[in-house]
Each structure stands twice: as C-alpha cells, then as structure tokens.
Structure 1
Amino acid sequence: MPHANEVPGTAGATEAILVTGATGNVGRAVVEALLNAGKTVRAAGRDRDAVRKMFGDRVEAVSLDFTDPSTWTATFSGVRQMFLLRPPQLGKPKKQMLPALEFARRQGVEQIVFLSLQDAEKNKVVPHAAIESWLRTSGISWTFVRASFFHQNLSTTHLMDIRDRNELVVPAGSGATAFVDAEDVGAVAAAALLDPHTYSNKALTVTGDEALTYERIVQILTSELGRPIRYAQPGAIRYALHARRRLLMPWTMVLVTLAIYTTARMGMAAGLTQTVRDVLGRDPISFAQFAHRERGIWTPQSNRGHLPS
C-alpha cells in the first residue's frame, strides 16, 4: 500500500481501470477517454445490463451497489486505479460509501480520482466533503475533480420544467454560476488516471470560460429553442417542494441542490479556472455550444422534427 504522497507505479499499467457511475454523463466520458487511450476499463453501474448495452464488449461490465457488500469483490478485485462518482441518492457517505471504499483499499486500490464539487472544501454540508476528508487520510493517492455546475443538469434534473413548462425553477436569484460541460469534466478525470504522477494528491477545479446568471441561461435557451423560456426564482421552501413533487428528487438531492443554488444566490459560485485549457490543451465547451448540441432533448414530443435549423 503506497503512502499518501506516493502514486501507483507501472505495475498496474495493464490492469483494468475501474470507472464507477459508468453510464452517467461524466462516467461515460471517462470510459470513452480511457478506451481511446488504449486502456482496459472495468465499467460499473447499478445495472450491469445497462453498462453492457452502452459499451458492448469494449469494457468489463460489473454491477456495483456501494451499500451491498456482495457486489464489492467482483468490482474491486485486481483494480489499482479507479474513478469514483457518488450516486446522488447516497446522501450519507460515512455509512453508505466509506465501507465500500475501505474494502477497495484492502483489495489494493492505490489511486482514486473522485468527482467532487467546486468549493467542496468550504461547504461541509455537501456529502462530497466527507469523501474528500476520508481520501486525504486514506493512504490512497487521490485527485479531486471539483466540477462547477454541469450544463447537463439542465437537460436532466431540470428537463421537465424546460421541456414541458417552458420555465427554469431555481432559487439562485441574480447570482452568476460557473458552468461546465460533463464531457470536459470526464476528460480531465481521465487525464488524471492516465498521468497519475502529475495529478497525485491535487484538487482540480474544473469550470468553463463563463459565469452566467440563470436569466442569461434562459435567454440562450429561448434563442436556441425558438420559444420563450422563463426564469422562475422561488424561495428556498417553494423550491424544495417543487423539486420534491414536480422534479421527483429524493430529499437528500433536494438539500444538496438547495445548498448549491443558495451559494449562487450569494454570489459565491462564479469562480472560473483555466483547468480545462491547462489539462486538455483546448477551450472548454460553452453553454451556447451545449444548448445547440442538445436542443432536441428540450423539444416537446409533439414538436420533434420541427426544430429550427
């Protein structure tokens, strides 16, 4: 087992790299980047069939439930490097995730690249902070990929509001938010796995080039979709009820997103970095590029095929 300041050597170079949350937006990007680099990938998800459907025989597909020890051996055995994503429904990491990570350490995992949040070190309310704290003292070489607010949250979490109700309901006020594309975050995480010596025991905050208000976000969506999208600005209680009842979020996710939006409303979510450019050598994907690329997903079913060119 390496010391906290050591990184995995070349002994594990031909072994599979484990990617958890492999079918999600970031996990999928990590898998594809590693495969493109010629690496063997063990791709883990709650549903192994879904992993196989997405990647075919290009990966070793496994089923992983952090709360079910019967899934741990097949997932972690023989793995030295892994990408770690916290499932959003697991809001109590000390109980629901750390036992699995302790098991992974005993199985020989030497490097973990963890998908965290921008400013997680300052926000002890978010579950990511507890995982970061454990990793720092684990003896495992760690890299924190602290992502700002994902573009993809608007095409997943807030999809129904935008697509079906022509509105975006978040309690962020007029505060600006640093957005980032999941493709960029996944590529940065993969780079840390491909070059562990360079990124050992470092925190990388990954953002795009722009800090945008949600008023600006709906202006871009309005222009791209050809119909008016309204920015609603509820208070904390009304947002929490809306997120739970209309967006069907579990309460743990409601509280995490409320904390994130409150940070934005207070003007604390606008910080930008050069990480994408420094690590990947290219410009980050802008929100306008993302909106154009994904515009079909916000189009009501009855209007599919009638998008403006």
Structure 2
Amino acid sequence: MIASIVTLLVVTMLVFGLSRIQGDPRSLLISEDATQKQWDALGQELGLDQPVYKQYLLYVTNLVKGDMGDSTLQRKPVAEILWSRIPNTAMLAAAAFAFAILIGVPLGVLSAVKRGGFWDHGVRSFAVLGQAMPVFWVSLLLIYIFAVGLNWLPASRNTGWTSLILPAIALGWFGASGQVRILRSSMLDALDSEYVRLARGKGVSARAVIWKHAFRNALLGPITFAALTLASLITGSIVVETVFSWPGLGLLAVQAVSNSDYPILQGVILLTTFVFVFVNLLVDVLYMAIDPRIRIR
C-alpha cells in the first residue's frame, strides 16, 4: 500500500515537473496579443503566483477532484476527453484479455500434461515465438493475412464488432504466450507433487487429477500474471491502437505528442499509472485470498 502511494506521488511530481519544464503554461492557454493584465489574471487563476510547493499541492488537489486541466488544442477539459476514450480502450483490453486466457490456459495445461511429446514441443514453440515477436510486427502480419490477403476482417475500426478481432488478437498475443509458459511451469510442479501422486495412487481419474488437484494448486502464478497482463493491456495499447486506428487512450497519447497537446499526454500518463498501481494492489489482495499465509508488507 505504501509503495503504491509513493509511486503515485513520484509520478505526479514528475508530470508536474515536466509541465513546468515546457515553459509557462499560460503561453499555451492565452493568445499572443493578450494584455499584461489578462496574463497576470490567468497566472493568479492557475496559482502561478504561488511558491512551487504550493503549486504542486494545488495540482494534486485538482487531480483528486478530477480536474486535469484543459486541452490546449481542443479547449476542453482533459478528464472529459479521457472519459470519452476509456470505453474503447477498456473494450479492446477486455477482448485481448479474453483471448489471452482462452488460448493460454488450455494450451498451458495441454503442454504440461503432454510433456516431452509432440503437443508439448508445438505449444512451447508457439509460446516462445509469441513472446519474441514485436506487437507492431504481429499487427502488420494479421492485417496482411486477414485484411489484405483473405479480406475476412477489417484493418481499421468500423461500426461492426468484427473490427475488434484483429487488434484484440494482436494485443493479447504476448499475454497468451506468457500465460502458456507460466501455467505450464506451475502445472509441472503440481503434477510432480506428493498430493497428486497420492490422488493417482487412490485411483482418482486422470481428469480429476489434472483439473481438481493439479490445476487448482497451480493457479497462484498464472493468476498473478493474468492480473498484470490485464494492466499491461490497458496501459500498453499504444502500438496496437495506432496501427489499427482504434480510438482509445493509446492513440490519443500519440495524437497528443504529434499536436504538442501536453495536458492530454500528462492525463494519459497519470490515468495509466493509476490503473497499473490499482491492479498491483488487486494482485496483493488475490495473493491473500488464494494463500492466507501471504501477508502484504
């Protein structure tokens, strides 16, 4: 908990410092022909006439209230713009997460159960290849095969749900591969444990041994990885959203950089940091729920 609070404070300090390094915020919010009186009035409104530490406290207070300032390009509240993009990123992250779990979990179990065999080697090759391939390259490959070559799916967003398939696969590919490797390792440890050997000795069916005894006791690592994967899907969708023109937070951040709309960029950074910290806290809670011996320090 303390580490999470410290992380949020450090990020807010960095974002606040970067906003001041860019120069006087008034130059982005007021026209060049503004009078000195207007300039001073805006500075007083923004708290720029206060010491730096008071400016930072005002900045944090506004963040707690949901006030992230205004976009220099759109002249709208940053929070309003972010909220308009959050559903799209959440939808993409949820679809990618579902893909990662639906592919990663069965293949991880299959690889462990069939260890040393054809299926094991095939699944492990898929996992290694999936984690070695850059997301950008995977995205372009999917577009080339399914959008350009076969013309089965759209390469960019349209009004249909099919436009979600390719970006979800591209974003969830790495997570699925990682889930395979984590779950395979945990399953192998569980299958070699004494309680599984005892269950087999008692004549328990192979299905019950795999899913009731081994799988349940192999979930700690995979659940942790799945939670962190979900956080990374939300916070790391910049490449996929840009390639597929998906109107989420990632594409918004890229557009903010291109347009020098720094308040928007700062808002995206703060929001994604909060999501990542929140998910890490959730992982700690899951740890305690799964294994009561674990205590949050």
TM-score class normalised by the smaller sequence: under 0.3
Taking structure 2 as the reference length, what is the TM-score of the superposition? 0.23
Higher relative contact order (CA 8 A, sep 6+): 2
- TM-score, with normalisation over the residues of structure 1? 0.22
